Structure 1
Amino acid sequence: MGSVNRTVVTGLLRALLALCVSALLAAPLAVAWGIGRTEITDYLGANQVTIAVDYTGETRVDLGPLGNAYLPMAYGPVGLTITAHGFGDPDAGTSLLSEDTLRSYLNLYYDPQQAIAGIAQGLADNAVRHIVVAEIVLVLIMIGWTQRHHFLSARLVRMSRAQQGMLGYLMVLITVAVVVIAPPAQEPAQRYEVTVADGTRFAGLTVDSAVLAELLDRGVVGLRKMADRQQSAMDDYVDKTTANLIQESERLPQPRPGEQLLFGISDLHCNLAMIRFWHQVVTMTEPAAVFSSGDDTVNGTATERSCVTGERDIAQDHPFIDVGGNHDSPITERQMKAAGATVLDGKVTEVDNVRYLGDDDPEYNPPFSTTRVSERDETEEQLGQRLVKQAIGRNVDVIMVHQPSAAWPIVQAPDPPAKLITWGHLHVQYGPQVIKHSDGSWTVAIQMGTAGGVAAPTITSFSTPFSPPRTSADGYFFYRDQATGLITGVQPVHCLPNASVIIDDRIQTGDLSQLPPQTRGRLGGDATPTPTATPSGSAPAPGQRATARG
Structure 2
Amino acid sequence: MTERRTPPRWLRWTLAAVAALVACLLYGVTTASATLGLGPHEALYEVDTDGLVVVDLGPLGTLEIDSPLPVGLGVDVTVKEIPADLTAVEDTTTLDRLAGDLDGYLQFYASPSTTFDAVAHALVLDAARRAGLALAAVGLVGWGVALLLGPARRGELTRTLAPRTWQLTAGFVVVSLVGATLVASDVEQPTRGRPASSVFDGTALEGATITGRLAGVIDTYGGQLLALYDQNEAFYAAARDDVAAAWRAWEVRHAVRVATGTDAPDDEDVVTMLVVSDLHCNTGMAGPIQEVATRAGVDVMLNAGDTTMNGTAVEKVCVDAFADAVPDGVPMVVADGNHDSQLTSDQEAARGQVILDGDVVEVGGVRILGDRDVLETRVGVGTSVARERTPTEQAGDLAEAACDDGDVDLLLIHTPPVGNRALESGCVPFQVSGHTHARSGPTQIGQGMRYVNASTAGAASGQATVGPLRGTAEMTLLRFDPTTRTMLDLQVVEITPAGAATVLDREPIPVPVPPVGELEVADAGSSDGPTSPTSAPASPSASSPASAPAAGDDATAEP
2:459 to 454, 463, 472: 454
- Mapped to 2, the partners of 1:346 and 1:23 lie a distance apart of 49
- Mapped to 2, the partners of 1:87 and 1:116 lie a distance apart of 21
Is 1:352 aligned with 2:354? no
Give matches, 1:470-481, under 5 Å. 470-481=470-481
Residues 160, 389 of structure 1: CA spacing in aligned structure 2 closer, same or farther, 3 A cutoff? farther
Is 1:293 aligned with 2:304? yes
For residue 524 of structure 1, what is the aligned residue in structure 2?
none
For residue 426 of structure 1, what is the aligned residue in structure 2?
436
Whether the 8 Å CA contact 1:301–1:331 is kept in 2: the answer is no
Q: Secondary structure at the match of 2:326?
A: helix
For residue 510 of structure 2, what is the aligned residue in structure 1?
508
Whether the 8 Å CA contact 2:54–2:64 is kept in 1: the answer is yes
Whether the 8 Å CA contact 2:48–2:76 is kept in 1: the answer is yes
Q: Secondary structure at the match of 2:217?
A: helix
Whether the 8 Å CA contact 1:119–1:303 is kept in 2: the answer is no
Query: Offset at 1:227?
Result: 1.3
- Residue identity opposite 2:468 in structure 1: S
Q: How many residues align?
A: 486
Query: Offset at 1:213?
Result: 1.8
Is 1:304 aligned with 2:314? no
- Mapped to 1, the partners of 2:17 and 2:125 lie a distance apart of 20
2:70 to 75, 78, 84: 75
Is 1:51 aligned with 2:45? yes
- Residue identity opposite 2:226 in structure 1: R
Over residues 264-291 of structure 1, what are the superposed CA-to-partner deviations in whole Å (9 max), with x where a residue is unaligned? 2212234455444444545565454332
Q: Secondary structure at the match of 1:312?
A: coil
Query: Offset at 1:42?
Result: 2.6
- Residue identity opposite 2:362 in structure 1: E
- Residue identity opposite 1:454 in structure 2: A
Whether the 8 Å CA contact 2:278–2:435 is kept in 1: the answer is yes
Whether the 8 Å CA contact 1:302–1:331 is kept in 2: the answer is no
Whether the 8 Å CA contact 2:24–2:135 is kept in 1: the answer is yes
1:207 to 207, 210, 218: 210
- Mapped to 2, the partners of 1:193 and 1:320 lie a distance apart of 43
- Residue identity opposite 1:401 in structure 2: I
Give matches, 1:39-438, under 5 Å. 39-73=33-67, 74-91=69-86, 104-148=104-148, 160-161=157-158, 184-187=186-189, 191-196=193-198, 197=200, 200-209=203-212, 211-235=213-237, 237=239, 250=253, 260-271=271-282, 274-282=285-293, 285-298=296-309, 301-304=315-318, 307-313=321-327, 319-327=331-339, 342-344=354-356, 348-360=360-372, 391=402, 392-393=404-405, 395-404=407-416, 407=419, 410-411=422-423, 414-416=425-427, 418-435=428-445
- Residue identity opposite 2:364 in structure 1: D
- Mapped to 1, the partners of 2:419 and 2:426 lie a distance apart of 14
- Mapped to 1, the partners of 2:107 and 2:318 lie a distance apart of 7
Identity of aligned residues (%): 24
Residues 306, 226 of structure 1: CA spacing in aligned structure 2 closer, same or farther, 3 A cutoff? farther
Query: Offset at 1:481?
Result: 3.5
Over residues 475-497 of structure 1, what are the superposed CA-to-partner deviations in whole Å (9 max), with x where a residue is unaligned? 33434333231335555555443
Residues 146, 295 of structure 1: CA spacing in aligned structure 2 closer, same or farther, 3 A cutoff? farther
- Mapped to 1, the partners of 2:249 and 2:271 lie a distance apart of 24
Q: Secondary structure at the match of 2:273?
A: strand
Residues 88, 387 of structure 1: CA spacing in aligned structure 2 closer, same or farther, 3 A cutoff? same
Unaligned runs of 5+ in 2: 1-8, 90-94, 519-542, 554-559
Q: Secondary structure at the match of 1:508?
A: coil
Whether the 8 Å CA contact 2:277–2:304 is kept in 1: the answer is yes
Whether the 8 Å CA contact 2:64–2:192 is kept in 1: the answer is no
Q: Secondary structure at the match of 2:497?
A: coil
- Mapped to 1, the partners of 2:393 and 2:140 lie a distance apart of 44
Query: Offset at 1:409?
Result: 6.1
Query: Offset at 1:45?
Result: 1.9
- Mapped to 2, the partners of 1:543 and 1:19 lie a distance apart of 74
Residues 345, 219 of structure 1: CA spacing in aligned structure 2 closer, same or farther, 3 A cutoff? farther
- Mapped to 2, the partners of 1:479 and 1:302 lie a distance apart of 30
Query: Offset at 1:406?
Result: 5.7
For residue 4 of structure 1, what is the aligned residue in structure 2?
none
For residue 484 of structure 2, what is the aligned residue in structure 1?
484
What root-mean-square deviation, in Å, do the aligned CA atoms of Structure 1 and Structure 2 show? 5.1
Q: Secondary structure at the match of 2:186?
A: coil
Residues 56, 382 of structure 1: CA spacing in aligned structure 2 closer, same or farther, 3 A cutoff? farther
Over residues 493-527 of structure 1, what are the superposed CA-to-partner deviations in whole Å (9 max), with x where a residue is unaligned? 55443547484843413479xxx9xxxxxxxxxxx
- Mapped to 2, the partners of 1:409 and 1:17 lie a distance apart of 71
Residues 44, 453 of structure 1: CA spacing in aligned structure 2 closer, same or farther, 3 A cutoff? same
Report the TM-score when normalising by structure 1.
Answer: 0.68
Query: Offset at 1:394?
Result: 6.2
Whether the 8 Å CA contact 1:380–1:403 is kept in 2: the answer is no
Q: Secondary structure at the match of 2:46?
A: strand
- Mapped to 2, the partners of 1:159 and 1:374 lie a distance apart of 70
Unaligned runs of 5+ in 1: 1-13, 437-441, 517-537
- Mapped to 1, the partners of 2:186 and 2:375 lie a distance apart of 43
Whether the 8 Å CA contact 1:65–1:87 is kept in 2: the answer is no
- Mapped to 1, the partners of 2:490 and 2:141 lie a distance apart of 64
Residues 307, 285 of structure 1: CA spacing in aligned structure 2 closer, same or farther, 3 A cutoff? same
2:22 to 28, 33, 51: 28
Whether the 8 Å CA contact 1:324–1:359 is kept in 2: the answer is yes
For residue 439 of structure 1, what is the aligned residue in structure 2?
none
- Residue identity opposite 1:307 in structure 2: A
Q: Secondary structure at the match of 2:450?
A: strand
Q: Secondary structure at the match of 1:105?
A: helix
- Mapped to 1, the partners of 2:511 and 2:113 lie a distance apart of 45
Report the TM-score when normalising by structure 2.
Answer: 0.68
Query: Offset at 1:58?
Result: 2.0
Query: Offset at 1:382?
Result: 6.5
Query: Offset at 1:427?
Result: 2.3
Whether the 8 Å CA contact 2:282–2:318 is kept in 1: the answer is no
For residue 467 of structure 1, what is the aligned residue in structure 2?
468
